A and B are shown apart, each in its own frame.
Chain A
Amino acid sequence: MPTARTKRQWLTAGLGSVSLLGVALLVAWQAPNAQQPSEGSEGAAAEADVASQPIQFPHDTHAGQFQIDCQYCHFSAERSVDAGIPPVATCMGCHQVVPGRTNPAEVAKIREYHDSDTPIPWRRIYKVSDHVNFPHLRHVAADVACQTCHGQVQEMGVLETVAPEAGNLKMGWCVSCHLERGASRDCTVCHY
């Protein structure tokens, strides 16, 4: 039906240019904005701190060298949506007696936080969008290794996200794994 085809071409062209215009506008609008610290950052004073963690916690030493189970510290992964960030008291459980051979100055910081009853303001590395619900418990129960999403953490001295530029932790990446493993691809499994 020629009429239908004409309609489609018109629509495709129209919508294409609209979205291109949208992209241009968004880029233009984003440029000056990028200079400003976004909401949620700790402000100018913290900016020097942005790149680093308050304590240089070596995952390679703990998870690699000493083979401490991930869930020893990330204690709620098997029973909660959240994996859990260890309370300072958990660190102290070992570091009460373990001074830290490689970097005792960093270990001493834990004691400072603990003694002053201050939580450690860890910099967040992994985050899925607010409209995504990632239930750790389901993935642990399905024997998905932590490394599948978080990379070879046991080899990382400084924790970083795994190749985000390659689309890791994006929806397509999640879905491809769900497809491979025959898990549900229903939207409301993650989005509600």
Chain B
Amino acid sequence: MSDGFGRRDFLKVVGVGGTSAAAAGCSTDTVERLIPYVTPPEEITPGVATWYATTCGECGSGCGVRVRTREGRAVMIEGNPDHPVSKGGLCSRGVSALQGLYNPDRIATPMRAVNGSFEPVSWDEALELLADRLGTGGRSLFLTGPKGPTEGNFLNRFADRLGGRRVVYDALDDSALRRAAKIAFGVDALPRYQIGEADFLVSFGADFLETWLSPVHFAAEFASMHGVRDGHKGRFVFIGSRLSLTGQNADEWIPARPGSEAQVALAVAGELVRRGADAGPYTALVSNTDLESAAEAAGVEAEALSALADRFAAGNGLALGPGLAGHHAGATAANLAVLILNAVAGAVGRTIHLDATPDGEASSYGDMVQAVAEMDAGAYGVAVVSGANPVYSLPPASGFADAFGKVPFKVAFATAPDETTAIADLVLPDAHPLESWGDAMPAPGKYSVRQPVMRPIHLFDSRPMSDVLLETASRLGHDFGAVTFHEYLRAANRSWLAANGEAVGLAGDPNARWRELLRTGSVSYADTSPKVEALQPPETAVGFAAPSFQGDGDLTLVVYPSPRFGDGAHANRPWLLELPDPVSKIMWHSWAELNPTTAERLGLRSGDVVRIASGEGEVEVPAWVYPGVREDVVAVAMGGGHTVYAEFARTFADGGGVNPMTLLPADADAESAALALVSTRVSVTPTGEWRRLVSTEGSHDQDDRNVAPAMALSALGHAADAAAEDEHGHDGQRRELQEGGGFVPVPTEGRAEDFPLPGSDFGEYADDHPRWAMAIDLDKCTGCGVCVTACQAENNVPWVGEREAMNGREMHWLRLERYYETVDASHAGPLDVRLLPMLCQHCNNAPCEPVCPVFAAYHTPDGLNAQAYNRCVGTRYCANNCPYKVRVFNWYGYTSDIPEPMNWQFNPDVTVRDNGVMEKCTFCVQRIRDAGNRAAVEDREVRDGEVYTACQSVCPADAIVFGNIRDAGSRVAAAVDDERTYRVLDELINTQPAVHYLKKVTFHEVDEGGH
């Protein structure tokens, strides 16, 4: 080296150019202004974040969030660990609320339709018009999404006072489950599941980790039930025709035919009764079943069902579902059958609770059908829509758009234009949930409040709908005792406390209670609602026969809500559009999932565009060949194909998003009137065209690299034996490699006692620094992908768009790898899908560092593998030398393309990178430095848990732990002290990563490789 061209020489030469350029480029006539407050808000200190606890408004689950604001702008959303339901977790849709808030396509002003186009009107004119029409325009209909208890109650009162009608509409309807609970237990409420308390879990197709009921809550519960602890873990069996994200987390898959849920559940219940369990009034019904015929109906082996019965018989089993996968013409029967199975298995009262008091807002497609008929018949003079987009999310066959069009005066409250606002007469810009008041009641005894975290964005002249309606009410001479919804909410809270405070232990000053509520975001109190446990006598009208499907195609169409877009309401958010789907890893466009056998029969490869035709319509969409769907099924996600929506959603549609609702007939379950999503057969024909799928999936096979190894449950506690046996396995290979020339082994396992590492004890590295490290428990990770979105939000990571993503230029600092080990739809059996969040491993012995000619990639004294952006000259050598492919390069100025005001979300603590710069995960170094600054000012050490990364702050499964591994008492040091700990590729290339993974634990035997 002494004689060669050293890296420092290179630096000097490049440095000369750089300095001169800087001198030449220096311009002094740039004037920046410092704009101080006139009167400062008490809670704001410039440069210091202000946090607000509030309730996420992106779906009806009511998860608690903490919103970080800087100088009055929301910049980050994290889970609220104090929240009784979400427990610190969140989902991608929740994090992306920021892109709903700052969406450039938000409606900026009230608009009135005049001769087919919209004209802006003032709020005063709009309110005058609204009051006039609601007062004299005829009967009014209020079509809203599910709202919080107080707002829902207000809307009901408002509709009543005007002599109108309110219909609650949610495309992700749960009315079949409600109806089934009513039949089985006589309660008008959703069952509450305590997954965490069960030892054995079965999902009859319910996607409880992504879209069903309360996914974040369920993910936390699932992690505690399914994650291994003390050598035990719960088993999870997925029964269904398509492996969703939830399905991929199962230990066993019974690929049952769609529509067979009821038969399977009843047959297993019948088997349990034959073994001595009690089915109460349903004994006769379930005794009349047998496993063989159920297995035949489901298209699976009878042994699989008998094994299922064995496991239920072993005790403490819980069955979930069937959720939306079972929303066919027999949806109530399917739900009822699963509830009966739970009762027979003894889960009711233990892991399922049924409250005799009605809960929140029940949506019903039946009410919608009735409203459509009434609108069609001219029963309404005014229709008000809010928080819903039925023109898009209902099948066109439902006739909604036509009927709605017949209403003389249609009002739409919305944040962004969509298919429904497009045909309204008056469009009113609604405030975003982060700008308004509200509440949620996620479970009895758990109340969560929503407060505005910032003033409404001045670019959009929006007002919260409830405020507008209260103003309208006062113009019409109705008094609701409040001028704003904030007052209404306060009054409701005060009167509730006055009536119930004493009984639930919340007595005392209501103002102090309110302040406490705003500080913590939620309150838990004794749940006094009476519980029901006994099955009611059966309702004979419910038939359990398999539903028939319409159409004459040879494949059954399964339409499922997207984990990213739900019913499509979130399709205008670039973070979600570019978030690889947790199952397919595809972004920006739609796809149709086909089994490899089916694809072969049709002569298809992934990317071949197919025409899916039902009796109602057809769509063209690329096929994606997936072993996780049955041969007789084709599955398409909701959420694509918006025709009128904000810009990003239109890009999505133009780029190949399709709306599968256009294929569905307007079928409903006869008993509950729930919309049937699985109701038609379709034909799939190749169009002869091919498109490249925009996918981040490099390979679904680990190619013997064992990047994501697993351990059999039976092998736990025998790690030492395994290592000894492995002398001739991978360990032996490693030794052989190390004995070869040029390999310098660094003898460390990355534990506290290994530091300082040999060779890192000089100069700045000499002192007692922390060593930041991370532990990721792969037995808990569900692969939901919220960490990816949170990382983007925290670190100003841009999206690149469909074309750039197709070139492999996506910028995510964190990705989720997904490998199939055992996925077979042809028969029931063990399932093994490996999920691995991959981020910069912050190697002690990092291959990226020595190849950087300008020392931009280097090691910090506290063990971070740092990237100095202002040094980086973009050679990309580091990325080429990184074995983990975690470095990403700014090929273009992606960040400067981010439109106003979406760039208001940028985290002011993180540099916004421009083109030509390499970047990667920093372990959220801005948070480390911030905590370090605070600790230094207070003259103390950084406490364990004080620094947490963005990905960690939202993980619903609590799979990520971060901290100083040199502190033997830290959580991360404790977490890595486990026989399951391994580091990716470390034994092969000796990179000494700081990211420690804990192996997934399987029930079946696995080839453990060398780990």
A residues in contact (CB < 8 Å) with B: 1, 4-5, 7-8, 11-12, 15-16, 18-20, 22-23, 26-27, 30, 33-34, 37-42, 46, 50, 76, 78-82, 84-89, 113-114, 117-124, 127, 129-131, 133, 135-138, 141, 184-189, 191-192
Contact = CB atoms under 8 A, between A and B. Distances in A.
Contacts of B926: 133, 192
B16 A19 contact: yes
Question: Which of A7, A16, A37, A133 gathers most chain B CB within 10 Å?
Answer: A133
A1 B38 contact: no
Given A130-B912, A135-B933, A41 B29 contact: yes
Interface in B843-865: 858, 860-862, 864
B871 to A, nearest CB: 7
A19 B46 contact: no
B285 interface: no
A76 B764 contact: no
A192 B925 contact: yes
B45 A79 contact: yes
Contacts of A186: 764, 860-862, 866
A122 B34 contact: yes
B791 to A, nearest CB: 14
A127 B33 CA distance: 11
Interface centre among B25, B47, B764 (most CB of A within 10 A): B47
B937 interface: yes
Interface stretch (B1-9, B512-520, B563-571, B733-741): B1-9
A80 B40 contact: no
Interface string B1-28: 0011100011001101110110011010
Contact of B31 (A8, A19, A123, A188): A123
B126 to A, nearest CB: 27
B699 interface: no
Interface in B43-96: 45-48
A82 B911 CA distance: 16
B24 A124 contact: no
Contacts of A12: 5, 9, 13
Given A82-B46, A188-B929, A120 B861 contact: no
Contact of A117 (B10, B29, B38, B860): B38
A114 to B, nearest CB: 7
B937 A124 contact: no
A78 B45 CA distance: 11
21 contacts: A19-B14, A19-B17, A23-B20, A26-B20, A26-B25, A38-B29, A41-B31, A78-B937, A80-B45, A82-B46, A82-B47, A89-B39, A114-B38, A119-B35, A122-B35, A130-B911, A135-B933, A187-B866, A187-B868, A191-B868, A192-B922
B36 A50 contact: no
Nearest to B937: A141
B46 A121 contact: no
Contact of A187 (B4, B9, B24, B871): B871
A113 B34 contact: no
A122 B36 contact: yes
Nearest to B71: A82
Contact of B38 (A33, A119, A127, A141): A119
B764 A30 contact: no
Contacts of B35: 119, 121-122
A89 B38 contact: yes
B30 interface: yes
Given A89-B39, A119-B37, A40 B30 contact: yes
B849 to A, nearest CB: 12
Contact of B764 (A42, A46, A184): A184
B33 A189 contact: no
Interface in B684-718: none
Contacts of A11: 5, 10, 13
B494 to A, nearest CB: 33
Nearest to B39: A89
B486 to A, nearest CB: 23
A117 to B, nearest CB: 5
B3 A1 contact: yes
A78 B33 CA distance: 23
Given A11-B5, A12-B13, 16 more contacts: A7-B5, A22-B20, A22-B21, A26-B21, A33-B27, A41-B31, A76-B46, A87-B37, A87-B39, A113-B38, A120-B36, A121-B33, A122-B36, A186-B861, A191-B870, A191-B911
B910 to A, nearest CB: 7
Contacts of A30: 24-25, 27
A91 B35 CA distance: 14
B39 A38 contact: no
B922 A127 contact: no
B144 to A, nearest CB: 38
A84 B31 contact: no
A19 B38 contact: no
Contacts of A113: 38
A50 B27 CA distance: 14
B936 interface: yes
B30 A191 contact: no
A42 B35 CA distance: 13
Contacts of B33: 42, 121-124
Given A127-B32, A187-B866, A192-B926, A137 B909 contact: no
Nearest to A80: B47
A8 B9 contact: yes
A188 B27 contact: no
Nearest to B49: A80
Contacts of B544: none
B755 interface: no
B999 to A, nearest CB: 31
Contact of A16 (B13, B24, B36, B764): B13
A95 B131 CA distance: 49
A91 B119 CA distance: 45
Contacts of B46: 76, 80, 82, 84-85
Contact of A192 (B3, B4, B36, B910): B910
B581 to A, nearest CB: 31
A16 B20 CA distance: 12
Nearest to B16: A19
A138 B24 contact: no
Given A186-B861, A187-B860, A187-B868, A27 B24 contact: yes
A-B residue pairs, 9 tightest by C-beta: A19-B17, A82-B47, A80-B47, A81-B47, A124-B32, A8-B5, A23-B20, A85-B36, A82-B46
Given A50-B31, A84-B45, A131 B869 contact: yes
A27 B925 CA distance: 36
B5 A137 contact: no
A41 to B, nearest CB: 5
Nearest to A186: B860
Contacts of B37: 87-89, 119
Contacts of A27: 24
B21 A87 contact: no
A131 to B, nearest CB: 4
A34 B27 contact: yes
Contact of A4 (B4, B866, B936): B4
Contacts of B45: 76, 79-80, 84
B909 A16 contact: no
A127 B31 CA distance: 11
Contact of B14 (A15, A20, A40): A15
Interface string B902-920: 0000000111100000000
A184 B5 CA distance: 29
Nearest to A131: B911
Given A88-B39, A89-B39, A187-B868, A18 B17 contact: yes
A46 B764 CA distance: 48
A23 B764 contact: no
B929 A189 contact: yes
Contacts of B871: 187
Given A80-B47, A187-B858, A4 B17 contact: no
B864 A188 contact: yes
A184 B929 CA distance: 12
